Amino acid sequence: MFEEILTDRCRLNVLNAKDEKEVITGIDNDQVIKYFSVSPKTFHKIEFRRHWFNKLMEPGTSLWWAIRFKDSDEIIGGCGFKEIDHDKNNAELGFWLLPQHWKKGIIQEVIPYIIRYGFEQLNLLHIEAITESENEASQNALLKLGFAPALTLPDCQLKDGKYISLYVFTLFNLRCCG
């Protein structure tokens, strides 16, 4: 169905049911889920994590890849699209990495392949990414990837008893418009 994507250092495979335990274990880390726009108390509940994983596996609305180094089967992160809207040809991009792999250029290496896949294979015209206002690392990564800040949603989401702000970033498929 979907081919394996190889980058200089990484191998990306579409998530499947066999990956559930490893992904759920990987994201059961307070550093990883700090900016998931959901309370860690909620996220640490196994039922919620299973529901979250199953949403990533919904055919037609989500497409996520496991990130692995080429020489390993261990999942070190994930990336992909959720909220794929085939009528409007847009989707939301998401990504996460285990903390020991942060600041090594992995996101900058793999996400261009995912963006290209979205534009060329899914015929997306527009990709969004949403970050919590305090998640400067993801915001900087998105800017380096060519995303533009599009919208600030102040105090729009309740998390751990307080309202948080979200930033929306956008990237348009300029090839589609000639």
- CATH number of the domain that residue 84 is part of: 3.40.630.30
Question: What is the C-alpha separation between 85 and 142, in angstroms, rounded?
Answer: 21
pTM recorded for the entire structure: 0.89
pLDDT in tens, 139-174: 999 999 999 999 999 999 888 888 999 999 999 998
The tally of CA atoms less than 13 A away on the side-chain side of residue 59 is 3
Q: Are strands 90-97 and 126-132 parallel, antiparallel or unpaired?
A: parallel
Please check whether residue 54 lies inside any domain of the structure: yes
Q: Are strands 90-97 and 10-14 parallel, antiparallel or unpaired?
A: unpaired
1 pLDDT more than 60 = no
Give residue for tokens 């008893």: 161
Please check whether residue 12 lies inside any domain of the structure: yes
Question: What is the C-alpha separation between 66 and 79, in angstroms, rounded?
Answer: 7
> Domain span at residue 15?
5-129
35 pLDDT more than 90 = no
Please check whether residue 57 lies inside any domain of the structure: yes
19 pLDDT more than 60 = yes
| Percent of all residues in the chain with a pLDDT value above 70, rounded to a whole number | 92
Alpha helical stretches, state H, the chain? 20-27, 30-33, 40-43, 46-56, 106-120, 136-144
The tally of CA atoms less than 13 A away on the side-chain side of residue 170 is 10
178 pLDDT more than 70 = no
Q: In angstroms, how far is CA 14 from the centroid of its own chain?
A: 13
Question: What is the C-alpha separation between 51 and 43, in angstroms, rounded?
Answer: 10
How many distinct structural domains can be found in the chain? Answer: 1
pLDDT in tens, 59-115: 888 999 999 999 999 999 999 999 999 999 999 999 999 999 999 999 999 999 999
